[in-house]
Amino acid sequence: MKQIDLTNLFLPKKIEYTKDEVFDIAIVGAGVVGCAIFKEFSQNGAKTILIEKENDILEGASKGNSALLHTGFDAPEGSLELECVKKGYEEFIKLKDDLNLQILKTSALVVAWNEEQEKKLEDIIQKGFRNGVKELRRIDKNELLKKEPNLSKEARGAILVEGESVIDAWSAPLAYLKEGVRYGGKLVFSHKVEDGEFDGEIWKIKTSRGEIKAKTIINSAGLYGDEVEKIRGGEGFRIIPRKGQFLVYDKSAYDLINSIILPVPTKRTKGVVVTKTAFGNILVGPTAEDQESKTDSSTKKETLQFLQKKAYEIVPKLKEHSVTTVFAGLRPASDETFYRIEYDKEKEWIRVGGIRSTGLTGSLGIAKYIFELYGKSFEKKEPKHDAQKVPNISEFSKRDYEKLGFERIVCHCELVTDREIKNALRGKCGAGTVGGLKRRTRAMMGRCQGFNCMADVVEMIKEAQNETK
């Protein structure tokens, strides 16, 4: 069979700025945190531009995570991370209906598998209480197995965390991006930040496609945050990529668990999680492997075998189900174990670094914290149009194929319609990469991994790109 070439399918997106424009805020990096900051500053009246080196959002660390909405019960006490996670959780709940963000309120179980872990449960509960999370309680083995009858009988007990939930990790930042655009924010893609100069009033940021002027720079470049930081001259900040490998089990396994199954965490990692996904699968992972490379997201056979063994130890009936796919994500851990947010007022530069596994939940809280830290106000403007609900691609609500008006289903594994794909390729916030299209529609992400629908999807991409020429 002829191999389909997925390179160079997408044209670089159009440049929205002019060389004479001066922005109040330039945000470097369009991960989930960058998109949330873009929304916050644009909504509050700042003339804002979001700069991304790839041709779409979420092309770095944000594309691979566990997609959990955290309560902060186990966050470091008194930390900025805890503050941002709790605020981010609260903001997500406020926004979800207006933006059509889906949530599955599963609750979580922190399961003890041996006597040593069992002894730690009470300390975890007390820490959660001190963190302001009250919906925590100890359950014994009998109650645990009633809640999770397919869990291994080796489990000794657990903490029930009522507020933990599963969300669609890709639609949320897309919604934040669209909100930023609605309030007049501008987007530039395929602009790799290479250098910059500050004259005491204005930054001139040099990118691979032109110069951008702004009064203040916000560095939310994730894995590349330490490299962008060198432009400011900042020292003492280093990103250490932390790889997390995952297994995705077939949809037939979905009903094996009811809750998010969490391990008793260590100082270094929250450990291997078994959870439902927004798309009807079971996810197992992540691992936590520090490495030097910021691009190596490969998976390793022996690591995946370790995850599979772990999955069977937790939920033995997973042996009866197949793995649909595997993937790895890179988390931008830093040389310190806390959020590295700093405002250099002299150089008008805000660093947003070291945002690790809680970044998805904390993003809206981080954005609000940074706006308050910035401390300047702008004249608020009326939005250009009403809020746009993002399309639902989760299994928590009605999907597009259940509605009238589409011509055909293109991806049969994930039941993605031609209408969904066409809409996802349109507009300023439309997909700019094959991965971006997958994250907006689920096309090519099912059991066959695009074997049956890839050719059709590629033709639709080519047609859409020809329309934009």
Local structure of residue 151 (DSSP, 8 states): S
DSSP three-state, residue 219: strand
Question: Which two tokens mark 249?
Answer: 């089990």
Question: Which two tokens mark 21?
Answer: 């424009």
Query: Which are the contacts of 283, defined by CB distance < 8 A and separation ≥ 6?
Result: 66, 67, 246, 247, 248, 249, 273, 274, 275, 276, 277
Handedness of CA 306, 312, 315, 317 (dihedral sign): positive
Question: Which two tokens mark 256?
Answer: 């094996």
Handedness of CA 258, 264, 269, 271 (dihedral sign): negative
- DSSP assignment of 435-462: HHHHHHH-TT-STTTTTTTHHHHHHHHH
User: At 198, phi and psi to the nearest 5?
Assistant: -125, 125
321 is annotated as an active-site residue: no
Are 366 and 40 in contact by the 8 Å Cβ rule? The answer is no
Query: Which are the contacts of 350, defined by CB distance < 8 A and separation ≥ 6?
Result: 216, 217, 218, 219, 341, 342, 343, 344, 370, 373, 374
DSSP three-state, residue 237: coil
Say whether the peptide bond before residue 76 is cis (omega within 30 degrees of 0): no
- C-alpha 396/C-alpha 353 separation (Å) is 32
- C-alpha 198/C-alpha 376 separation (Å) is 19
Single out the catalytic residue among 70, 191, 321, 385. 70
List residues with catalytic annotation.
70
